[in-house]
Amino acid sequence: MALNVGILTSGGDCQSLNATMRGVAKALYTNVKDVKIIGFLDGYKGLMYENYRVMSPSDFSGILTEGGTILGSSRQPFKMMTVPDENGLDKVKAMKSTYNKLKLDCLVVLGGNGSQKTANLLSQEGLNVIGLPKTIDNDLWGTDITFGFESALNVATNAIDCIHTTAASHSRVFIVEVMGHKVGWLTLHAGIAGGADIILLPEIPYDINVVAEAIRQREKQGKLFSILAVAEGAISKETAALSKKERKKKAEQSVYPSIAYEIGADITRLTGQEVRVTVPGHMQRGGSPCPYDRVLSSRLGAYAAGMIMRKEFGALVVSQNDVITHLPLSEIAGKLKVVDPECDIIQQARMIGISFGD
């Protein structure tokens, strides 16, 4: 059996992209006598503009612990995929042309929600596609966990841990802004793991007066510092009640660099407490993958290789109850896995006294 396999990494980077590609490659090289792996550079751009390199087994050696992606990545919004580029290029037609020109048997796409929507589009256009679930947000529908999440969680939790000592020393309120525009899984887990007193998520609009009162109550109990884990997409109840257009206008008029600074200013106004903001930012995407992610990535990659050999296409590889399996791309494309405000982990967090500002 001879196989020509294309592979690309799309969207934001994370710590386990290389580990997952390695899993696919090592399984193919081990189990297929004649296999050629073609790596597309900078995500879907490489597929569009025929920018690629033929990989060798040595390319996948020593990258299990290496963060980022050896192929490079770029963000290509799904809504722009059917819009010609500045030179009038039909992007979908170009990607299909490259796939056929290279006589690929399969295209493996490592990416998050937008990337998998494009993967599904290409699948519907007749290409053999397999998706692998990448995102530090853990918001891909159909999988319990995505690779990159645990590694980012370690970084975000460490940031909160480091803040604890200085917050206690200076009796201040500290806000740690965690990545997550639309969903709050990373903030939720980091907040609990880091011992945050207040956690603000996009899925649970907050009342700043409730937040301020939670801080006042801690003060009355003799607790002279408070730590807030705030998702970058956290939203107040007032803002949540606005239309999408009104929200955009409000954001454009804001004098604050991000929501954490706005919340900090409001807390100072309402409580008189000194507030400091820490934004770990892209540190959460960087560094070496944690052991959990290395194992998960190896398993996901090996499973994807098995699917290629079995000619099972048009699917996303997922983890469900610690079993690696797959779901149709058409079933997961465009669906977000959000935090249910009534889910177990939220209820248990409330039980131990964590406020969600609502």
Tens-binned pLDDT, residue by residue, of the chain (358 aa): 689 999 999 988 899 999 999 999 999 999 999 999 999 999 999 999 999 999 999 999 999 999 999 999 888 888 888 888 888 899 999 999 999 999 999 999 999 999 999 999 999 999 999 999 999 999 999 999 999 999 999 999 999 999 988 887 877 899 999 999 999 999 999 999 999 999 999 999 999 999 999 999 998 998 888 999 999 999 999 998 888 888 888 888 888 999 999 999 999 999 998 899 999 999 999 999 999 999 999 999 999 999 999 999 999 999 999 999 999 999 999 899 999 999 999 999 999 999 999 9
Tell me where in the chain the CATH 3.40.50.450 domain(s) lie: 2-148+289-332
So what's the pLDDT on residue 82?
86
Question: What is the rounded distance in angstroms from the CA atom of residue 316 to the CA atom of residue 129?
Answer: 9
Q: What is the total residue count of the chain? A: 358
| 318 SS3 class | strand
In the residue annotation, 144 being an active-site residue is answered as no
Tell me where in the chain the CATH 3.40.50.460 domain(s) lie: 150-284
Which candidate in 13, 42, 105, 137 is catalytic? 137
Sheet containing 226-231: give its strands across: 198-200, 226-231, 173-178, 275-278
Q: What is the CATH number of domain 150-284?
A: 3.40.50.460
So what's the pLDDT on residue 76?
84
Q: Are strands 52-54 and 315-320 parallel, antiparallel or unpaired?
A: unpaired
So what's the pLDDT on residue 313?
97
Radius of gyration (C-alpha) of the chain in whole angstroms? 22
Q: What angle do CA 108, 113, 116 make, to 5 degrees?
A: 30
HSE-CB of 298 using CA atoms within 13 angstroms: 11
Structure tokens at 348: 């248990």
DSSP 13: -
- In sequence order, the 6+-apart residues with CB closer than 8 A to the CB of 249 are none
So what's the pLDDT on residue 303?
98
So what's the pLDDT on residue 171?
76
The closest of 283, 76, 12, 273 to 162, measured between CA atoms, is 283
C-alpha dihedral (32, 320, 14, 110), degrees to nearest 10:
40
So what's the pLDDT on residue 118?
94
| Structural contact between residues 145 and 358, judged by C-beta atoms closer than 8 angstroms | no
Q: What is the pTM of this model?
A: 0.94
The fold of the 2-148+289-332 domain, in CATH, is Rossmann fold (3.40.50)
- In sequence order, the 6+-apart residues with CB closer than 8 A to the CB of 24 are 5, 7, 108, 132, 301, 302, 304, 305
